[in-house]
Structures are given as structure tokens and as C-alpha cells.
Amino acid sequence: MDVRELIEWQHALGADEALEHQPRNHLVAAAEPTPKPTQKPALQTTPAATPAAETNAKPLPASSPTPVGARTSTKPVGSTNDAVLQAQKAANEANSLEELRNAVETFDGCLIKKTATNTVFADGVPEARVMVIGEAPGASEDEQGIPFCGASGKLLDAMFAAIGLSRQKNLYISNTLFWRPPGNRRPTPEELAMCRPFVEKHIALINPSILVLVGGTATASLLDPRTGITKLRGHEHHYHNEYLEQPIATFAIFHPSYLLRQPLQKRLAWQDLLHISTYLEKNFSGVS
């Protein structure tokens, strides 16, 4: 494997950020520091302190631990709340998908936007009955600016194709986060909170008949943060936010990246897809 192939392989694994200014070979053990020669303590030449001097001497202040809740970082207090308010104001003013996309692309409150290559807004048919909300863009999505376009996206397309749904005809796909977290890490609650006003307005503008939440992060962010996806999947829920006139039938399914790691869970995923298909057939005479 040459140097170029090695770098591309590391990039595919998510190692796309340098943590030090100079490269360091971690396979070579660092040289142990040479111990300094011990020195004998100097003879005491000053007289010992008298009891009175000891009584009058001021003790050095003891170092106390940082109080719980004290601010120790350089991040301004209230910056997250300010960003959420900024996002909510921008979402309130967006009255079309184009305006909302522009609001997301110009929003600077979320720091991970600075490390991302592209804003990943959406893909598919805006008039679709079914809207899919995933978690956050990965490396492939960040590179192409399209949600679910990597290995997990191919599996997701195959899953929905099995029940007659596709992003080319009758499916609309977005995420709870519009920028890739560095190293594909899990989104933080603060990042999700900053993007949530845009996501809520996004759902309202599409106004789908069915909302499908893909993965635990999307489910916790929009449906129920207290209950895991294992218990939420397999049931019909109802999602509502301030922009919607009425609740939307909502289903939670496993993330395809999880299914790639745990293929035995595809049996449950197929049951969930059949549940969605049955709901569409019963209430709308099919997926079209």
C-alpha cells in the first residue's frame, strides 16, 4: 500500500483531522527522560522560627476545587441558547423549501459547519407522502452533499425499494443535523438543539403523511429522548411541533449502519417496513 492509498484508507475511516502540528510515529516508543542527579539538601543556616513568629505567620491559601457548574471553558455562556434562538428566528421567516435551505446554508451558529465540506440538506421528492429523517451526514454524505449516499444509504434505498418507495419517485430524505460531525462522532445535544428549529420547519413545509425516523439519534431528538429505539420501533407514534396543524403518523426504524453491523436485526427491520407498507395501503391505497 503506497502513501496515497494509506491516506485515502485513513480518510475513509474518519481520520480526517490533524491533532498535532508535527507528525509523530506512535509505533516508536518515546525515549525515557534521563533522571536528574539527586542533590543533598542545603544546610539550614537561618534560625528556627520562634513560636510567636509561627503564630503571626499567614498560612498560604489552600487550592480549592472548581465549584460545580463553574465556567472553565472559553465558550461564552448562553452561546447555545443564542444559536437556538437565531435558528428559530430564521426558521420562522422561511416560508418555502428554498428559503429554508438558504437559511440553513447561511446559519453560522453550529461550529461543526466550519469543519464540514458541504451542507447536507435533503434529497428526493418534496411532494412525497413519506419523509425520512436520519441522524447526521457521514463521510460520503459530506463529500457529495446528499443524505444517505454511502454504504448505509445503499442499504436504506434497498430497504425502501422492497416496499415500493424510492427517492426518485415517492420518498423525501433529510437529517436531524445538516453537517458532518468530525470523525463521524455522535451529534451532541447542543448541536441537535441548534438544528431542531430548521428540522421542525422542514417537516412542516413537506407536510408528509408519514414520518420515518431512522436510528436512535433521530428518534430521541424528535420523538422521545427517554425511550430507546428498540422499544419505540414496531409501533405507530404521532409527531407534532409548533409549525404543524395536526400530528403526523410516525414510525421508528433501525439505522442501516446498525443493520450492517448486526445483520440478524434485519428481520425486525423487515417487520417495520411491512408495518409502514400496511399503513400506507390501508390509509392511502398504496405508496403512490
Q: How far apart are CA 138 and CA 121, in angstroms?
A: 13
Is there a contact between 80 and 193 (Cβ–Cβ < 8 Å)? yes
Distance from chain centroid for Cα 71: 24
CATH of domain 79-284: 3.40.470.10
Q: What single letter denotes the amino acid at residue 39?
A: Q
What pLDDT score does 16 carry?
A: 59
> What is the distance between the alpha carbons of residues 16 and 182, in angstroms, rounded to a whole number?
8
Identify which of 272, 145, 278 has the alpha carbon closest to the alpha carbon of residue 215: 272
User: Which pLDDT score, from 0 to 100, does residue 277 have?
Assistant: 96
Pairing assessment for the beta strands 210-214 and 130-134 based on DSSP bridges: parallel
Under the phi-then-psi rule, with left for phi > 0, alpha for psi from -120 to 50, and beta for the rest, what region is 285?
left
Query: For the stretch 105-135, what's the b/e string if a residue is b when 16 or more beta carbons lie within 10 angstroms of its beta carbon?
Result: eebebbebbeebebbbbbbbbeebbbbbbbb
Reported pTM: 0.73
pLDDT score at 20: 58
Extents of the domains making up the chain: 79-284
Q: What pLDDT was estimated at residue 275?
A: 96
Q: What does the pLDDT read at residue 60?
A: 37
Split the chain (288 residues) into runs of 10 and give each run's mean pLDDT: 62 57 56 52 44 42 35 45 95 97 96 96 97 96 96 96 97 98 94 97 98 97 94 96 96 97 96 96 81
pLDDT at 242: 95
Q: Among all chains, which residue has been given the C-alpha cell 510567636?
A: 52
Element (H, E) at 80: helix 79-93
What is the pLDDT, as a whole number, of residue 80? 82
